Homo-oligomer: A and B are copies of this chain.
């Protein structure tokens, strides 16, 4: 029997990641192209179609070896119609991506939010380990969230489910968030939030190693904070305790409502490993109900940048399986 293959696509503001993925979730081949955000992103669909056709040729595959194309998009999507209401970083507004790419390519196309597909990818082949109830939190420039319940992505009534970054963590006088609110978790526990908090407190902590970093580099990155923690820096430790507390309470509150079996932490900030995970788990177990805490296991995302394309391919794999 011939191997079923799918194409997974993960569209970002700078580059588009693509992969040929087999039916067990293994990447057969992966590559990148540049995201052409000019003219409101109108060339992206033809770019994707062209690079897929070219790559299938290069790999000596037949077009019929491919079952379909799954795509992750950072934006608001009508999942059923594959219509993009808006994807600011890409330039799309009211754009019928699924219809357009299906017409060009002749393949079935399935589209979902990129954070949801990262969760689906981790569930299928990564730290999610195939559990059917998981929360996946990506701590990067912003905070992305994907929720899988009963093995399915939770979309909610209009595709907004999983907006974990916009949980309000500071009720009054929180920092302004890109969403227009203040005090969102994203303003605290994202890489950007950690940088801001570390820099804002530096005047009161002039002896911190981070003070020197700020003077030399004009900024403190989240990696700088974790490095300083490693070296026993008191202010860096305090920053980590602070962000762990806000993140841990938010995860505990969500878990008291969702009762997940696994909580996967990904994104650049997750590379801090135990420096983040140890205080985070402590806060979580203090604020989650005992049975909720017992039922939930933490894991660091293991697929890195591949989570998106693997999750995108999974959309097609699920469809094929159901046919």
A70 at the interface (CB under 8 A from B): no
Binds B, one of A227-235, A247-255, A267-275, A303-311: A247-255
Q: Mark A128-163, 1 if CB is under 8 A from B, else 0.
A: 000101000000000001010110101111111111
A168 at the interface (CB under 8 A from B): yes
- A260 contact set on B, CB distance < 8 A: 156-157
Question: Is there an interface contact between B256 and A164, defined as CB atoms closer than 8 Å?
Answer: yes
- A294 contact set on B, CB distance < 8 A: 158
Question: Is there an interface contact between A158 and B257, defined as CB atoms closer than 8 Å?
Answer: no
Given contacts A171-B249, A256-B163, A287-B168, contact A261 B295 (CB under 8 A): no
Given contacts A163-B289, A287-B168, contact A145 B257 (CB under 8 A): yes
Question: Is there an interface contact between B257 and A254, defined as CB atoms closer than 8 Å?
Answer: yes
Q: In whole angstroms, how far apart are the Cα atoms of A244 and B181 in the complex?
A: 18
Q: In whole angstroms, how far apart are the Cα atoms of A160 and B156 in the complex?
A: 20
A202 at the interface (CB under 8 A from B): no
A167 at the interface (CB under 8 A from B): yes
Taking the closest CB of chain B, its distance from the CB of A132, in whole angstroms, is 8
A95 at the interface (CB under 8 A from B): no
Q: In whole angstroms, how far apart are the Cα atoms of A258 and B160 in the complex?
A: 8
Q: In whole angstroms, how far apart are the Cα atoms of A27 and B295 in the complex?
A: 38
Q: In whole angstroms, how far apart are the Cα atoms of A271 and B37 in the complex?
A: 53
Residue of B nearest to A76 (CB): B291
- A157 contact set on B, CB distance < 8 A: 131, 133, 259-261, 295-296
- Between A149, A156, A168, A256, the greatest number of chain B beta carbons within 10 A of the residue's beta carbon is seen for A256
- Cross-chain contact of A149 among B149, B160, B164 (Cβ < 8 A): B149
A98 at the interface (CB under 8 A from B): no
Q: In whole angstroms, how far apart are the Cα atoms of A26 and B181 in the complex?
A: 44
Q: In whole angstroms, how far apart are the Cα atoms of A160 and B256 in the complex?
A: 7
Q: In whole angstroms, how far apart are the Cα atoms of A292 and B133 in the complex?
A: 22
Q: In whole angstroms, how far apart are the Cα atoms of A245 and B172 in the complex?
A: 11
Q: In whole angstroms, how far apart are the Cα atoms of A254 and B162 in the complex?
A: 10
A281 at the interface (CB under 8 A from B): no
- A167 contact set on B, CB distance < 8 A: 253, 256-257
- Cross-chain contact of A253 among B131, B159, B168, B287 (Cβ < 8 A): B168
- Cross-chain contact of A160 among B159, B162, B180, B292 (Cβ < 8 A): B292
- Between A155, A167, A179, A250, the greatest number of chain B beta carbons within 10 A of the residue's beta carbon is seen for A167
Residue of B nearest to A158 (CB): B295
- A181 contact set on B, CB distance < 8 A: 286-287, 289
A314 at the interface (CB under 8 A from B): no
9 contacts between A and B (CB under 8 A): A155-B259, A157-B259, A161-B257, A163-B256, A163-B289, A167-B256, A167-B257, A181-B286, A257-B258
Apart from A181-B289, A253-B253, what 14 extra A-B contacts exist at CB < 8 Å? A133-B157, A156-B292, A157-B295, A158-B291, A160-B256, A160-B291, A160-B292, A161-B257, A162-B257, A164-B257, A167-B256, A171-B245, A179-B289, A181-B286
